[in-house]
Amino acid sequence: MIRIERRLRQPRWLTVAVPVGSVVVALLISAVILAATGHDPVYTYHRLFTSAFVDSGALSNTLVSATPLLFTGLAAAAAFRMQLFNIGAEGQLYLGAAGAMGVALLIGPAPTPVHVIVMVAAGAAAGAAWAAIPGLLRAFLRTNEIITSLMLNYVAALVIDYLIFDSLSYWRDTSTPDARVFPQGKFLPDSANWPTTTIGPGAGLVIPLGFLLAVAAAVVLWFLYQRTRFGFEVAVTADSPRAARYSGMRTRRKIVAVMLISGALAGIGGASQDGDFRHQLDPKGLEQSYYGYTGIVVAALARYNPLAVVLVAFLLGGLQTAGYALQGVDFPSGLVGVMEGVILFCVLAGELLVRYRVRLRRRGAEPAPPARAEVAS
């Protein structure tokens, strides 16, 4: 007979060993899916690994994929930590990209640091403003933020589509006849392209500025949640909203503040898409990347710990890079999402082993004495 009992203490090694074990199980399940659909799992995994981390330039590409996931992962982690399920990072990122692009085009040629600062600020503001809608609705009208933030993703996608495809907006390139027929965004002035850092020999490892900003943001977020009064109040509100309210914490303000932080992080991710990678507002490119949704996977795998988000974003960035590099007959599109989903399932299921102890007991044996926690509750 199997008995599941709550653990009184969660040993530290378990909180590391269980997720790692879960990922291994997930890879085994994915291997079965691969084999079932006629692909050689060993060969596929080998190619996945080399094209994500080993091939020349692979690591640099992995950082390119990891940067937006890091931002959206932090956005999700910041909100989910407070049991505030902002799944609108997708739309907040789109609008962050539109906002940052707007101001960058507006100020024209200027010193690069000025551009970077202004674009980060505008991206953060636009993302935060978009996140404020579900945040305020949740705080003051108690409207379910999951549905509202998600619906706003579709609206945000339509907004940026409109800016490029169905209007002669400020964002759209109308300088040449060609551009008038095939709509695309205006390109940033050269001075607004964010610089990169290259380390190592040869082509080296190219680190986008956005990646460094995101890592800095992760550290700041970690500090905010672990070491400040604000972070403590967020943790209390998450665990017991009533206790927080009775002790005089302003839970409504906290909800709005956390949503703003979350939206701002996603918005900076959008600014980084403009400055680091795309250099124009690229609606279809952004919409087909699913950065916001993948960010939720990142945050959940990192157990909402900002520092762990960095590591997970890097690994999933590798998976995505490999997905692009290998896309074709051997590696059908959609496989990356399948693998991410399976990993997430296994990690979710594995959580049980961290919180509970599974005991095998022979039928008829003396029942184990109840644990203290069970008596207490």
Place of tokens 């959609």: 334
Binding mask 74-113 for another protein (x = CB under 8 A): ------x----x-x--------------------------
CB of 297 to another protein, least distance (A): 6
Considering only residues 2 to 61 of the shown chain, the ones binding another protein according to CB under 8 A are: 5-6, 37
Q: Read off φ and ψ for residue 358, nearest 5 degrees.
A: -100, 120
Closest CA to 3 of 351, 353, 361, 373: 361
What lies within 8 Å, CB to CB, of 268 at 6+ separation is 71, 96, 120, 123, 124, 127, 213, 214, 217
Return the residue of 13, 288, 360, 366 that touches another protein, per CB under 8 A: 288
What are the structure tokens assigned to 211, written together?
A: 């990646």
The helix/strand count (H/E) of the chain reads as: 16, 4
Return the residue of 50, 121, 332, 357 that touches another protein, per CB under 8 A: 332
Closest CA to 126 of 96, 156, 94, 102: 96
Is residue 188 a contact partner of residue 101, using CB atoms and an 8 Å limit? yes
CB of 223 to another protein, least distance (A): 25
Return the residue of 17, 31, 151, 224 that touches another protein, per CB under 8 A: 151
Return the residue of 53, 112, 132, 143 that touches another protein, per CB under 8 A: 143
CB of 276 to another protein, least distance (A): 22
Return the residue of 40, 166, 239, 330 that touches another protein, per CB under 8 A: 166
Across 317-339, b (16+ Cβ under 10 Å) vs e yields: bbbbbbbebbeeeebeeebbbeb
CB of 99 to another protein, least distance (A): 18
**Binding region for another protein (CB under 8 A):** 5-6, 37, 80, 85, 87, 137, 141-144, 146-148, 150-155, 158-159, 161-162, 166-167, 288, 290, 293-294, 296-297, 300, 332-338, 340-342, 344-345, 348-349, 351-352, 355-356, 374, 377
